[in-house]
Structure 1
Amino acid sequence: MTIKDIESRLWSAADQLWANTGLRPSQFSTPVLGLIFLRHAEQRFVDAQAELQQEGVSPANADKYDYQEKGTLYLPDKARFSHLLALPEGENVGRAVNDAMSAIEAENEELRGVLPRNYTLLSNPTLIELLRLLAPLNQAGDAFGVIYEYFLGAFALAEGQKGGVFFTPKSLVELIVEIIEPYHGRIFDPASGSAGMFVQSAAFGKRHQRNVASEISVFGTEKDAETVKLAKMNLAVHGLSGDIRVANTYYENPHDALGRFDFVMANPPFNVSGVDKERLKGDKRFPFGIPTTDNANYLWIQLFYSALNPIGRAGFVMANSASDARGAEQEIRRKLLDDKAVDVMVAVGSNMFYTVTLPCTLWFLDKKKFQTARAKQVLFIDARHLYRQVNRALRKWSPRQIEYLANIARLYRGEAPEFMAGPDEDYPGTDPDLRETFPELVYQDVPGLCKVATLDEIAAQGWSLNPGRYVGVVAGESVSDEDFKAQFEAWNEELEALNAQALELQTRIAENAAFLLD
C-alpha cells in the first residue's frame, strides 16, 4: 500500500466519521492526530525494542532510559496502541485512551500537559473504528510520520485559512533544509506551527549520518497554545526534544533571539496587517527600521535576519509581493543586499499549499557570504515549472526535484552536489537530471532556470528580488498560460498590497486635513 493509498483511505474514513460525531473538524482533528501519534509511537517503540534485543538487552530488562537513548518514547503496557485495540467488548474505550495519554506523560516529562484527553467525547463505536483503521498501517521507516504530516495538512484544508497557520507543505520544508544544510547547532523557528521545520532538519541530519539528538537543539515560538501542543507531539514522535513556547513573536522574545542562532527556518503568515508598530520602536530585532506600510512581511524578514549569528543561514517562505515591494520595504531590502546577506531566491509556483493557491518565494540568507566570492552576487532560481500534480488543486515537488534544485545552490556555492533521493513512487514522472543541465557539475546560468545576478544588476532593477526578472525564458520558448497565470497572480497580490498602502495614505491625509481645518 502506497502512502497515497493510505492518505486517501484515512481521509475518507475520517470524513465518514465526522458525520457520526457532531464535532467540527477543529474539534475532531486533535483526537485523530492523537491516535496517529499513539500508533506511530508504538511502531517506533517496537523498532527500538528489536534494536535493544540485537544488542543483548531483553524487553524484561530494558528500562525507559534505554528507549529514550534510542530517541523513542517509553510506552507503559496500557499506553500501547495494541493494548487499546485488544480491549474487551464493553470497555470504555474513551477512558482507556485518556489513561494511555496520562501514562505516556507520566513517563516522558517533555509531554506533560500536551497530549489530548477528550476521547470520552467520542462514542465507543467511533473510537473502535478509528483504532481498527489505523491498526494495519505498520509501514516501515517513517511512513507514519508522513501520515501524521498528511493529516496536519488535510485538517488544515478542512479548517480553511485558520488551519493553514500551522502547516507548511513538506516539499517546501525539505528544499529549505537541503539548501541551508542544518547539520548541527541551534535552530530557530519564530513561527514554528507544528514543528515541521525541526522534523525535516532532523531527517536531513540522519540521512547524513549525524547524531541528531546531540548535534542540534531546536527553539520555537507559536502564538496558538493548541498548535504548540501539536508541535511537541510531533517532536516527541520523531525522537526530538525542543524548547517551543507560546508567544506573539512581534512583541515577545522569550528565546532572546538576537544573533543567537546558527539556522533560522520559518513559514510566517503572509501580509499580516494590524501590528502595533509603536510597541516595536527601539527593538533591536528590527535593525533596518520599522516599515511604514501596514504589512508585517518585512518585520518577519528582519526577525529572521537578526536572529542569526555571524555565520548563520536562514531559509523562509515569503509572499511574492515582498520581492518587489516599494517604499520603506524597498529600502529595507536594499540594506539587506548591501549587507551581503541575501544568498538565494527561489520562485515557487501556485497550488503548493493546502489552503491558498497563490505562488510564493523562498528566501535564503547567509551571514557568512560576505567573506566569499559570492559576496556581491545572488542566485535566482525559477522553480515554477517543476512540480508533481497530486490532485486537481494541489502540487508538490518530488524527492529528485528537491535534490535537483538544492544541487543548483550547492554548485553555485562551489560545493559538491549530492545524489541521495529516490524516485517518487506515489507520483511517478520524469525528473530533471542535474548532469544533463550541468555536464561538468559546475554552475552556469541556464535561461528559464537559474541566473546569478550581481548587486549592480539588482540595483538596476530597483533592488527587486523577483527571480522572474533575472532568469528569463528558454530561447524560442513562449511564456505558457500557467506561467502567465502565476505572474498575473503575483501582480494581483502586489496590486492588493499597493491598494492597502493607498488606503492607509488616504486615511492619514484625511485625518491630517481634518486636524488642520479644525
Structure 2
Amino acid sequence: ALLKLMNSISTDIEGDAFGKIYEYFLGNFAMSEGQKGGEFFTPTSIVKLIVEIIEPFHGKILDPACGSGGMFVQSARFVENHKKNPSTELSIYGQEKVGETVRLCKMNLAVHGLSGDIRESNTYYEDLHKAVNQFEFVMANPPFNVNSVDKSKLKDDINRFPYGMPSVDNANYLWIEIFYSSLNEKGRAGFVMANSASDARSSEATIRQKLIEDRVIDVMVSVSSNFFYTVTLPCTLWFLDKGKRTTNRKDKVLFIDARHIYKQIDRAHREFTDQQIEFLANIVRLYRGEEIENNRGSAEMMAEKFPNGCYVDVPGLCKVATMDEIRGQGYSLNPGRYVGVTEKEKESFDFKERLEELNTELELLNSEAHELEAKIGNNIALLLNTIDTIE
C-alpha cells in the first residue's frame, strides 16, 4: 500500500523534498501498523544517535537487518552535514528477510539519490555479502529475543560466530556475533539490543565476557521506554570499536544512562530532539578525545555538565568504567550498574522505572529457567537411554 501511495506522488518534486516525504510516510505507516511496522522501521531519532556515535565519514556500511533502510539514509545525511558527497564516500550493503521490505528499502535509497546492494535473505543462515572482516561500519536494529533459530546450521561457522553458540533459545547474541565478525580491524558497529542482553547469564554471559576482554565494547547507552512502535520497554544501544584496541581507551568502556533524556511526543511515544542527540554524541566525543560539535544547540547542556570542556564522570548520566570495575560487576554491560544516580534521584522513587527494571530481571530469570529446563530434559533422556541399555 505504501509503495502504491509513493508511486502516485508527483515526480516533479525535488529529490531531497521527495525523500523527506517518503520518510514521513514510512514513519506514520510504521506507527499505524504497530508491531508489523516496527519490523521495518527504526525511529529516526534512535538512528540519528547511532550514526552520530559511530561517525560513518567514509567506507563500507552493512545493515544485516536493514528494514526500510533508515540507517543508510541517516548515514548519508551525516556525510552531507560534514560537506561531503555520500555517493562517493559510502558504499551501502544490506540484507533483509522480507521481500516487500527489500523493495521499501530500495525505494528509500532511490528517493534520497542513493544506491546500494540490498538483498533478500535470512541473515542467520546466509552471508550474501561475504561480510566477515570486511566492513568499516555495521548498524542494525535486529528483531529481539527470536527463538527457534536452527543453531545446528551455524555451529561450524566459526568465522561468523567466533565466540560459539549460545545455549539458550534466543538469537540476541547470534546477532551480536554477526555484527562483530563483519567489522574490519578498525571497524565500528552501533546497534539496538534488548535490555536483557546486557546482563544475560550462562552461555550468553560467557560470550559477553569474551567481547569485553577482547577490548571491542566501546560505549553503552541505555534508552527510555516508549521509543519504539513495537514494544514499550526500554532498550540499550551497543557500540563496538575494533580500532579502540590501539588507543588509550583500550581498557575502558563508556556507560551513558539516557533514560531521563527524551521529548514526549504523545502519551505513548518519545523521541530524542536534535539538541539531545548532539549532547549525547558530544559526551562520546569528549571520551574519545575528539572535538565536540555545536550545530544543534547543545552548548548550554554541555557547559552545565562539562564546564571545563573535558570529559568527567557525571553521576546519573555517564561513567567511564575500567576493566577491573567491569569484572567486579560480573561483566555486566548495564549502564545503571556503573552510572549511579544524582542526589535528586536518590530522594525520589520512580515506580515505572522500577517496574521496567523488574521486568528485565524477569526476562533474565525466564531465560535461565528455559535453559535449565532444556538441560534437565536432556539429562533425563540420557538417563533413560542408559537404563534401556543396561536392561
TM-score range, shorter chain: over 0.9
Q: Percent of pairs identical after alignment?
A: 57
Aligned mates of 1:170, 1:432 — CA distance in 2: 24
Name the aligned partner's letter for residue 318 of structure 2.
C
Aligned mates of 2:318, 2:142 — CA distance in 1: 26
CA deviation string 1:359-388 (max 9, x = no partner)? 110000000101111100000000000111
Residue 30 of structure 2 corresponds to which residue in structure 1?
156
Name the aligned partner's letter for residue 98 of structure 2.
D
Check conservation: 2:68, 2:108, Cα contact below 8 A: yes
Question: Any residues of structure 2 matched to 1:294-313 within 5 Å, and which?
Answer: 294-313=169-188
Name the aligned partner's letter for residue 331 of structure 2.
W
**The one of 185, 207, 212 aligned to 2:81:** 207
**The one of 439, 443, 453 aligned to 2:307:** 439
What RMSD, in angstroms, separates the aligned Cα atoms of the two structures? Answer: 1.8
1:324 aligns with 2:199: yes
Residue 363 of structure 2 corresponds to which residue in structure 1?
493
Unaligned runs of 5+ in 2: none
Name the aligned partner's letter for residue 319 of structure 1.
A
- Off by >6 Å, runs of 4+ in structure 1: none
Name the aligned partner's letter for residue 152 of structure 1.
L
Aligned mates of 1:458, 1:422 — CA distance in 2: 34
1:452 aligns with 2:327: no
Q: CA deviation at 1:432?
A: 6.6
1:504 aligns with 2:374: yes
Question: Any residues of structure 2 matched to 1:44-443 within 5 Å, and which?
Answer: 44=14, 142=17, 144-283=18-157, 284-421=159-296, 433-443=301-311
Name the aligned partner's letter for residue 461 of structure 1.
Q
> Residues 432, 483 of structure 1: CA spacing in aligned structure 2 closer, same or farther, 3 A cutoff?
farther
323-332 or 496-505: bigger deviation: 496-505
Q: Which structure's CA Rg is the greater one?
A: 1
Q: CA deviation at 1:420?
A: 1.5
CA deviation string 1:5-31 (max 9, x = no partner)? xxxxxxxxxxxxxxxxxxxxxxx3332
Name the aligned partner's letter for residue 390 of structure 1.
I
Q: CA deviation at 1:476?
A: 4.5
> Residues 236, 460 of structure 1: CA spacing in aligned structure 2 closer, same or farther, 3 A cutoff?
same
Aligned mates of 1:146, 1:155 — CA distance in 2: 14
Check conservation: 1:264, 1:313, Cα contact below 8 A: yes
Work out the number of aligned pairs and report it: 385
Question: Which secondary structure state, in structure 2, belongs to the residue aligned with residue 226 of structure 1?
Answer: helix
> Residues 500, 158 of structure 1: CA spacing in aligned structure 2 closer, same or farther, 3 A cutoff?
farther
> Residues 34, 320 of structure 1: CA spacing in aligned structure 2 closer, same or farther, 3 A cutoff?
farther
Aligned mates of 2:102, 2:200 — CA distance in 1: 32
Question: Which secondary structure state, in structure 2, belongs to the residue aligned with residue 362 of structure 1?
Answer: strand
Check conservation: 1:401, 1:432, Cα contact below 8 A: no
1:30 aligns with 2:30: no
> Residues 43, 483 of structure 1: CA spacing in aligned structure 2 closer, same or farther, 3 A cutoff?
same
Question: Which secondary structure state, in structure 1, belongs to the residue aligned with residue 343 of structure 2?
Answer: coil
> Residues 159, 516 of structure 1: CA spacing in aligned structure 2 closer, same or farther, 3 A cutoff?
farther
Q: CA deviation at 1:486?
A: 3.0
Q: CA deviation at 1:275?
A: 0.7
Aligned mates of 2:235, 2:35 — CA distance in 1: 16
Aligned mates of 2:366, 2:37 — CA distance in 1: 23
Check conservation: 1:153, 1:354, Cα contact below 8 A: no
Name the aligned partner's letter for residue 515 of structure 1.
N
Name the aligned partner's letter for residue 32 of structure 2.
A
Aligned mates of 2:372, 2:69 — CA distance in 1: 37
Question: Which secondary structure state, in structure 2, belongs to the residue aligned with residue 42 of structure 1?
Answer: coil
Q: CA deviation at 1:149?
A: 2.7
Q: Whose RCO is larger (CA < 8 A, sep 6+)?
A: 2
Name whichever structure is richer in strand by fraction: 2
CA deviation string 1:119-174 (max 9, x = no partner)? xxxxxxxxxxxxxxxxxxxxxx64x5444234323333433423321111111100
CA deviation string 1:81-119 (max 9, x = no partner)? xxxxxxxxxxxxxxxxxxxxxxxxxxxxxxxxxxxxxxx
Q: CA deviation at 1:440?
A: 1.4
Aligned mates of 2:137, 2:222 — CA distance in 1: 21
Check conservation: 2:202, 2:368, Cα contact below 8 A: no
Question: Which secondary structure state, in structure 1, belongs to the residue aligned with residue 147 of structure 2?
Answer: coil
Aligned mates of 1:494, 1:153 — CA distance in 2: 31
**The one of 446, 463, 467 aligned to 2:331:** 463
Aligned mates of 1:226, 1:263 — CA distance in 2: 25
Aligned mates of 1:504, 1:238 — CA distance in 2: 48
Check conservation: 2:36, 2:230, Cα contact below 8 A: no
> Residues 508, 158 of structure 1: CA spacing in aligned structure 2 closer, same or farther, 3 A cutoff?
farther
Name the aligned partner's letter for residue 44 of structure 1.
E
Q: CA deviation at 1:481?
A: 2.7
Name the aligned partner's letter for residue 254 of structure 1.
L
Aligned mates of 2:44, 2:370 — CA distance in 1: 32
Q: CA deviation at 1:33?
A: 4.1
Check conservation: 1:187, 1:265, Cα contact below 8 A: yes
> Residues 420, 244 of structure 1: CA spacing in aligned structure 2 closer, same or farther, 3 A cutoff?
same
**The one of 4, 12, 23 aligned to 1:42:** 12
**The one of 478, 484, 487 aligned to 2:354:** 484
Aligned mates of 1:303, 1:199 — CA distance in 2: 22
467-476 or 490-499: bigger deviation: 490-499
